[in-house]
Copies of this chain bind each other. A is one copy, B any other.
């Protein structure tokens, strides 16, 4: 398999974790995200992904897009170890925690939204920080509440092993920490994040170890 990726994409980080967690060998191709709009403009890549976002996963001549859809695909084709274990009710909880992060925090705090705020609305550094904080705080507070009140939450989001929800949590919280923000207000999220980051699949695939990261 081949992963089209960028160290700057939370969504690509999710798929790197899932591939590594499942022990699936893959090669990587790296792309630059344009600061002016948060998109990839490489014309060859646009053929593969007309939206100009990563990740895309290639398998033979097939191309798979969108981190959640890719993870669901990997789970169906390579079920061991699972990232969506348990009953339909278990999976609903795992998916809903994942979706809270992927739909309700990530798109608002990612490079595309920030590029528009800076370029088209002229928002300064401070304004951008407030924007990121607003969505992160709102989303993580809801997530914390859903995690701490549920007996299925352990040192992972759901049950005794990492799932798709932990992958999504780590991809989001990692960026949050990079902004120098503390997780104290979200003790359950912090505990889960720290537990996951002790695992190879989560740690070795982090943005700071990606070869396209200039500070790597």
In the complex, chain B residues whose CB is within 8 Å of the CB of A123: 121
Give the complex CA separation of A121 and B141 in angstroms: 23
Contact of A68 among B76, B88, B95 (CB under 8 A): B95
Answer yes or no: A103 CB below 8 A from chain B CBs: yes
Answer yes or no: A145 CB below 8 A from chain B CBs: yes
Q: Is the CB of A92 within 8 A of B121?
A: no
In the complex, chain A residues 40-94 whose Cβ is within 8 Å of any chain B Cβ: 50-53, 62, 64-70, 72-73, 76-77, 88-89, 91-93
Contact of A69 among B53, B73, B92, B127 (CB under 8 A): B92
Answer yes or no: A30 CB below 8 A from chain B CBs: no
In the complex, chain A residues 114-147 whose Cβ is within 8 Å of any chain B Cβ: 116, 120-121, 123, 127, 130-131, 134, 138-139, 141-142, 145-146
Give the complex CA separation of A164 and B139 in angstroms: 25
In the complex, chain B residues whose CB is within 8 Å of the CB of A88: 73, 76-77
Q: Is the CB of A100 within 8 A of B146?
A: no
Give the complex CA separation of A127 and B121 in angstroms: 9
Answer yes or no: A106 CB below 8 A from chain B CBs: yes
Q: Which range contains the number of A residues in contact with the other chain?
A: 35 or more
Q: Is the CB of B99 within 8 A of A66?
A: yes
Q: Is the CB of A116 within 8 A of B102?
A: no
Answer yes or no: A113 CB below 8 A from chain B CBs: yes
Q: Is the CB of B113 within 8 A of A108?
A: yes
Known: A103-B102, A104-B107. A116 touches B92 (CB 8 A): no
Q: Which residue of B lies closest to A46 (CB)?
A: B145
In the complex, chain B residues whose CB is within 8 Å of the CB of A104: 51, 53, 107
Contact of A64 among B64, B92, B134 (CB under 8 A): B92
Give the complex CA separation of A113 and B110 in angstroms: 14
Question: What are 9 sample pairs from A and B whose C-beta atoms fall under 8 A apart?
Answer: A52-B142, A64-B92, A66-B96, A66-B100, A69-B99, A70-B92, A73-B91, A103-B107, A107-B108
